[in-house]
């Protein structure tokens, strides 16, 4: 399979501290690849390298065959990759529709004067409704973002990333701060939304191993800045030493689908 995104021998050092050490991985079309590891494993640094925020000290970072090392998230979004952050990044004083419109306007490089009257722009208004419908937010378009539940704010944040029409989306702890009861519902919505939106691959950074087990096609485990394992869920969780190294204890995941 041709890689949509890949790193080859990527290392990142901050002075004498080595955050990443020779990390190679690839993500192909149709995959949901989870990146897991204990605190200090290098997950955040790897995510920042993948999304162009940080340039590696050594190694290659490619997206759709092009070198994207350190180009920044704005240029990377223009090339077809978006990131939804761990912490909710919505504009609380704007409506749901306006939050989604911000992403659409920025992606199309339209002026914010146009954003102010986006309801008069049929193409933007239609795209807002399309994205909202994918996430079940069409009934909340006129609601102020600050009045949404935490789960709805998460969905709106991710919907804004989807509005950029990416080929690949990186989801950074998409269920953090959400009740255990709602986590699987949000993940099912995200996976279904990705299919409906034509997203080709998902990179998931997640600490909830039940979610990782159920939704991943592959799991990349980091420890000490190195790749500890790169395996399908069944193989990953059948090795108690690997699972214990990642979560700090023996772990029995629910049977992956």
Residue 145 lies in a domain: no
User: Is the pLDDT confidence value at 67 over 90?
Assistant: yes
Token look-up 């090339």 returns 79
Q: What tokens were used for 67?
A: 């070198």
**How does the average pLDDT of the chain come out, rounded?**
85
Q: Which among 74, 125, 136, 83 has a CA at the least distance from the CA of 101? A: 125
Task: Please report, for the domain that includes residue 56, its CATH number.
Answer: 3.40.50.300
What is the band of 75 on the pLDDT scale with cuts at 50, 70, 90? confident
Residue 152 lies in a domain: no
pLDDT at residue 105 in the model: 78
Q: Are 11 and 21 in contact (CB under 8 A)?
A: yes
pLDDT at residue 186 in the model: 84
DSSP 4: E
Percentage of the residues of the chain whose pLDDT score is greater than 70 = 88
Q: pLDDT by residue (tens digit) across 35-50? A: 999 888 999 999 999 9
Q: pLDDT by residue (tens digit) across 13-28? A: 999 999 999 999 999 9
Percentage of the residues of the chain whose pLDDT score is greater than 90 = 44
User: Is the pLDDT confidence value at 248 over 80?
Assistant: no
pTM, to two decimals: 0.84
Domain range for residue 216? 3-86+170-178+201-247
Residue 13 lies in a domain: yes
Residue 154 lies in a domain: no
CA geometry: angle 124, 152, 188, nearest 5 deg: 95
Residue 213 vs residues 33, 60, 159, 203: alpha-carbon distances, Å: 11, 29, 24, 14
What is the rounded distance in angstroms from the CA atom of residue 98 to the CA atom of residue 119? 9
Q: What tokens were used for 156?
A: 């709106």
Q: pLDDT by residue (tens digit) across 119-164? A: 667 888 888 998 998 888 999 999 999 999 887 888 888 888 888 8
Residue 10 lies in a domain: yes
Residue 123 lies in a domain: no
What is the band of 85 on the pLDDT scale with cuts at 50, 70, 90? low
Q: pLDDT by residue (tens digit) across 185-199? A: 888 888 888 888 889
* Overall domain count for the chain: 1
pLDDT at residue 88 in the model: 54
Residue 9 lies in a domain: yes
CA geometry: angle 189, 194, 195, nearest 5 deg: 100
Q: Which residues contact 231 (CB under 8 A, 6 or more apart)?
A: 218, 219, 239, 242
Please give the helix or strand (H or E) that residue 157 lies within, else none: helix 150-162
What is the rounded distance in angstroms from the CA atom of residue 160 to the CA atom of residue 153? 11
Residue 48 lies in a domain: yes
What is the rounded distance in angstroms from the CA atom of residue 224 to the CA atom of residue 25? 16
Q: Which among 29, 78, 32, 83 has a CA at the least distance from the CA of 54? A: 83
Q: pLDDT by residue (tens digit) across 99-113? A: 898 888 776 655 455
């Amino acid at each position: 399979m041709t890689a949509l995104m890949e790193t080859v021998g990527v290392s990142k050092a901050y002075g004498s501290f080595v955050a990443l050490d020779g990390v190679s991985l690839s993500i192909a079309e149709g995959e949901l690849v989870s990146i897991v590891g204990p605190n200090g494993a290098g997950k955040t640094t790897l995510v920042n390298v993948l999304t162009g925020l940080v340039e590696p000290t050594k190694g290659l970072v490619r997206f759709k065959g092009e070198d994207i090392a350190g180009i920044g998230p704005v240029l990377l979004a223009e090339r077809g990759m978006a990131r939804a952050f761990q912490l909710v990044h919505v504009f609380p004083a704007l409506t749901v529709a306006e939050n989604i419109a911000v992403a659409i306007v920025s992606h199309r490089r339209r002026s914010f004067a146009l954003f102010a009257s986006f309801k008069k722009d049929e193409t933007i208004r239609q795209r807002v409704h399309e994205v909202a419908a994918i996430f079940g937010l069409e009934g909340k378009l006129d609601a102020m973002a600050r009045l949404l539940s935490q789960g709805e704010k998460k969905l709106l944040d991710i919907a804004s990333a989807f509005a950029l029409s990416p080929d690949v989306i990186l989801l950074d702890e998409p269920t953090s701060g959400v009740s255990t009861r709602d986590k699987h519902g949000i993940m099912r919505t995200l996976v279904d939304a990705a299919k409906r939106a034509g997203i080709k691959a998902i990179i998931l950074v997640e600490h909830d191993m039940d979610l990782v087990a159920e939704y991943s096609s592959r799991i990349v485990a980091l420890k000490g800045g190195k790749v500890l394992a790169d395996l399908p869920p069944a193989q990953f969780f059948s090795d108690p030493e690997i699972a214990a190294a990642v979560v700090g204890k023996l772990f029995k995941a629910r049977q992956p689908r």
